[in-house]
Structure 1
Amino acid sequence: MARVFGLLLILFTCIAALPAAAEEGWPRQVTDALGRAVTIPAPPRRIVAIFSSNVEMLAAIGAGPDIVAIEAWTRWPPDLVARTARIGGRLGFSVEAIARLDADLVVMTPARQAAAGLVDPLGRIGIPALVLTHDRLDDILANIRLLGHATGREAAAAAVADAMGARIAHLGACLKGRPPVPVYMETGSDERGAAFTIRDATYTGDILRAAGGVSVFAGRDRLGRVSGEAVGRADPDRILIAGPPERVPALMQRPGWDGIRAVRAGRVDAVTRALLLIPGPRVVEGAEMLARLLHPDAFAAGGACLMPAEGDK
């Protein structure tokens, strides 16, 4: 009997020493924004997500608990931000710190030289690095699905992307036939009197169009910085400031701006910056927020834009 137990112990020890069997469907390969074929050996459980957009997309598909580090300027979701380690910021990102975290996937965008400084070194130490770009609204939906495939959360990712697409389609249908409202959207300003606005062929431009608006600088995609004189010549019907409400009175008091139609009529509003300038799942909320401002009658009782749940309230 002792000999049998001894043989069983040896057998179990040998089995435990064998490499774990590959999970079904893994390893898998995805193609990132740089055209790189990125191999992910197993479902990632220790993800480093660099930049807010990638954190928000991963959290939306249920991968938030697997995120072990974010960059210093990420603010959403707040519970995830509160519990997660920081990995770099404006001064760059450390490959050594990522390696110490035992990361099994790094998701980033090319901003602030993150991709240039991380992709090759991470490849040399065997950590998969996925680079995403979110230029247009369709890219955001596609990247949510891509992250679903990269993390083994395809169903959750498809549900998120489908719901976002349905809400955007609903806006398009209920605002159909309404003339787009000419909008100047300001994303920032400097002490020299210059201001910054959205470019047309971007996800923010897409959000504005989905909301039934159009930039007064549409078609000038190289434009980002504008003068007060240019805004005056464009004479927008509405002015939207991506920032806190206290910026509204200051804008309305700028020299020469009192002749602009939107300022004369008091049609200047502050809008939540994160819903418009972070390319993640919340951009749909941004589109709905803008639509309510630009076409309030469509959201009034009995309006065409009320979702069924809203109409039942």
Structure 2
Amino acid sequence: MAHDFSRAPTGPQRIVCLTEETTEWLYLLGQEARIVGISGYTVRPRRAREEKPKVSAFLSAKIDKILALEPDCVFGFSDLQADIASALIRAGVQVTVFNQRSVAQILDMLYQVAAMVGQAEQGQAWISRTQARLREIAEAGRALPRRPGMYFEEWDDPCISGIRWVSELMGIAGGDDCFPELAAMPLGKDRIIGEPQRIVERAPDIVVGSWCGKKFRPERVAARPGWQDVPAVRDGEMHEIKSADILQPGPAALTDGVEQLHRIVLDWSARHG
């Protein structure tokens, strides 16, 4: 049988995205036709939920359903999806698992995915525009008369502080993470704040809640023992950012997520700066 080696490579044509950020990115690149399966948690873009079969949660996936879709590539995220990746690899599927934890690593991931689907130039143009906007926000943040201390809460019981890219985005937005030493920890279990009194002691000016898919309840935060004198509680500076906008390490966090953080900081500065 003759092989046509002259045919230009076109990259994967049938992609399953086990997390939301690669789905959003492929839609932004106009490559959504390549997607044959998505995570059940996907909300960006909204139409993806209507158009694509949902084949996975975050820690589990319907392996048989994925195999039935005959993907030529599966995109996953982090060590938390290692077991899913292993099962698919054993079944003969190509799996690419990214492990981006910082803003720079998110940008690297976006470029790699764009290149894989033949959209390196378009992907780089989006990345360059986004980097320019991040620089603008950072400059505005540096110009503030005072930077607020910020506590970002990923979960409330136990209290878990923000992951590295969230911490970096707070810095870009003009605030200072109250728990920078925990932000370096890639796993949620290593960002548990064992004694909530530690948060009180760091006296955040702003609390941002993003409780991994459940609604943030500022009144519950305010009612915690000893919290009445925390500046953020005293001044009513408790805000929610939806997890889909900030806790997905992809386009959402670098656009809507950081813009919301920046608005929160600017509003605080106008009142307290």
TM-score range (shorter-chain normalised) is: 0.7 to 0.9
* Conserved 8 A contact 1:110-1:116: no
The amino acid of 1:23's aligned partner reads: R
SS in structure 2 opposite 1:219?
helix
What is the CA–CA distance in structure 1 between the aligned matches of 2:204 and 2:135, rounded to whole Å? 26
What is the CA–CA distance in structure 2 between the aligned matches of 1:215 and 1:86, rounded to whole Å? 35
Quote the residue 2:98 is aligned against. Answer: 132
Quote the residue 1:169 is aligned against. Answer: 135
Correspondence list, 1:243-258, <5 A: 243=211, 247-258=217-228
Correspondence list, 1:48-63, <5 A: 48-63=16-31
Distance 1:54 1:264, change over 3 A: same
1:195 to 142, 159, 164: 159
Distance 1:187 1:94, change over 3 A: closer
1:293 to 235, 244, 264: 264
What is the CA–CA distance in structure 2 between the aligned matches of 1:93 and 1:68, rounded to whole Å? 14
Is the aligned partner of 1:23 residue 2:7? yes
Deviations along 1:55-76, one digit per CA (max 9) or x if unpaired, are 2222222222210001222222
Distance 1:240 1:96, change over 3 A: closer
Q: Any gaps of 5 or more consecutive residues in structure 1?
A: 1-16, 27-41, 300-313
Correspondence list, 1:141-156, <5 A: 141-156=107-122
Is the aligned partner of 1:204 residue 2:161? no
Is the aligned partner of 1:99 residue 2:44? no
Q: Any gaps of 5 or more consecutive residues in structure 2?
A: none
Quote the residue 1:5 is aligned against. Answer: none
* TM-aligned CA deviation for residue 123 of structure 1: 6.4
Distance 1:110 1:268, change over 3 A: closer
What is the CA–CA distance in structure 1 between the aligned matches of 2:140 and 2:168, rounded to whole Å? 17
1:43 to 3, 11, 16: 11
The size of the alignment, in residue pairs, is 260
What is the CA–CA distance in structure 1 between the aligned matches of 2:133 and 2:37, rounded to whole Å? 31
With the length of structure 1 as denominator, give the TM-score of the two structures: 0.75
Distance 1:68 1:22, change over 3 A: farther
Is the aligned partner of 1:72 residue 2:40? yes
User: Percent of aligned positions with the same letter in both sequences?
Assistant: 20
What is the CA–CA distance in structure 2 between the aligned matches of 1:180 and 1:95, rounded to whole Å? 48
With the length of structure 2 as denominator, give the TM-score of the two structures: 0.85
Higher relative contact order (CA 8 A, sep 6+): 2
What is the CA–CA distance in structure 1 between the aligned matches of 2:166 and 2:58, rounded to whole Å? 23
The amino acid of 2:244's aligned partner reads: A
2:208 to 240, 264, 267: 240
* TM-aligned CA deviation for residue 128 of structure 1: 2.4
Segments of 4+ in structure 1 off by > 4 A? 17-22, 243-246
2:242 to 252, 262, 272: 272
Is the aligned partner of 1:115 residue 2:86? no
The amino acid of 2:264's aligned partner reads: L
Is the aligned partner of 1:262 residue 2:232? yes
